[in-house]
């Protein structure tokens, strides 16, 4: 399968490298000549191409959307609407704001629903937003037992496609949570886990300071 990836950061590189074992990957970046990206591509091999966001959007039969910060997402995808129409869009994004206490930026409507409303002819599937990037591609060894993934989205065919791609990564079974409105649940779990992790990190930092 041809997978176009919008974004070239931690999630894009981790999933891109894992899927490249079986699929053709095109990473779309605003600066495809960034030295760290060029070096990364050399280590992965010939079935990963790097180019513009538009080239990646046009290349992919399935698209991974992996942009941070979340405020940039609408501006990145809007000009690509034509290339993204009728395609499955994998949404792994979180819209957590960390200014004081972590909170979801949107509470009435999820990030997944918002992306679906911005790309009405595309099929958004929310998945993997609750796990750190290394665990996305290594769920069993990471100790998530059993390795159960979740998807939500309005298109049964798109969810089936994404389920296959999750199974390629080692997710043993994938639960269909329902339509894209259910992504609000996934995003709230992402928020809860990030609060727990930031609490643990704060405790560790405190212990280090106290010696």
Ligand X SMILES: NC(=O)c1ccc[n+]([C@@H]2O[C@H](COP(=O)([O-])OP(=O)(O)OC[C@H]3O[C@@H](n4cnc5c(N)ncnc54)[C@H](OP(=O)(O)O)[C@@H]3O)[C@@H](O)[C@H]2O)c1
Is residue 144 at the binding interface for ligand X, with CB under 6 A as the rule? Answer: no
Interface pick for ligand X out of 58, 133, 140, 144 (rule CB under 6 A): 133
Is residue 31 at the binding interface for ligand X, with CB under 6 A as the rule? Answer: yes
Q: Which residue is nearest to ligand X (CB)?
A: 9
Is residue 132 at the binding interface for ligand X, with CB under 6 A as the rule? Answer: yes
Q: Between 12 and 158, whose beta carbon lies closer to ligand X?
A: 12
Shortest Cβ 69–ligand X spacing (Å): 7
CA 20, CA 47: separation in Å to the nearest integer? 6
Phi and psi angles of residue 26, each rounded to the nearest 5 degrees, phi first: -130, 115
Is residue 8 at the binding interface for ligand X, with CB under 6 A as the rule? Answer: yes
Shortest Cβ 132–ligand X spacing (Å): 4
Q: Between 80 and 158, whose beta carbon lies closer to ligand X?
A: 80
CA 4, CA 89: separation in Å to the nearest integer? 9
Is residue 41 at the binding interface for ligand X, with CB under 6 A as the rule? Answer: no
- Beta strand 123-126 pairing with 148-153: antiparallel
Q: Between 140 and 193, whose beta carbon lies closer to ligand X?
A: 193
Is residue 7 at the binding interface for ligand X, with CB under 6 A as the rule? Answer: yes
Is residue 76 at the binding interface for ligand X, with CB under 6 A as the rule? Answer: yes
Is residue 4 at the binding interface for ligand X, with CB under 6 A as the rule? Answer: no
Interface pick for ligand X out of 9, 45, 164, 199 (rule CB under 6 A): 9
Binding site for ligand X (CB under 6 A): 7-12, 29-31, 53, 66-68, 70, 72, 75-76, 92-94, 129, 132-133
């Amino acid at each position: 399968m041809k997978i176009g990836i919008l974004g070239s950061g931690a999630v894009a590189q981790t999933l891109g490298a894992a899927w490249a074992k079986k699929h053709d990957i095109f990473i779309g970046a605003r600066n495809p000549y960034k030295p760290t990206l060029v070096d990364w591509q050399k280590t992965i091999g010939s079935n990963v191409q790097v180019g513009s966001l538009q080239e990646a959007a046009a290349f992919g039969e399935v698209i991974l959307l992996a942009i941070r910060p979340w405020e940039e997402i609408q501006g990145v995808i809007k000009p690509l609407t034509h290339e993204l129409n009728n395609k499955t869009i994998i949404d792994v994004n979180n819209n957590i704001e960390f200014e004081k206490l972590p909170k979801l930026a949107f509470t009435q409507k999820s990030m997944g629903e918002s992306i679906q409303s911005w790309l009405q002819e595309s099929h958004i599937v929310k998945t993997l937003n609750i796990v750190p990037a290394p665990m996305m591609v290594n769920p069993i060894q990471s100790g998530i037992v059993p390795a159960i993934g979740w998807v939500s989205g309005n298109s049964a065919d798109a969810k089936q496609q994404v389920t296959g791609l999750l199974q390629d990564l080692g997710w043993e079974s994938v639960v269909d949570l329902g339509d894209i409105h259910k992504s609000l649940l996934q995003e709230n779990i992402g928020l809860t886990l990030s609060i727990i992790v930031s609490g643990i990190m704060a405790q560790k930092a405190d212990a280090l300071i106290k010696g």
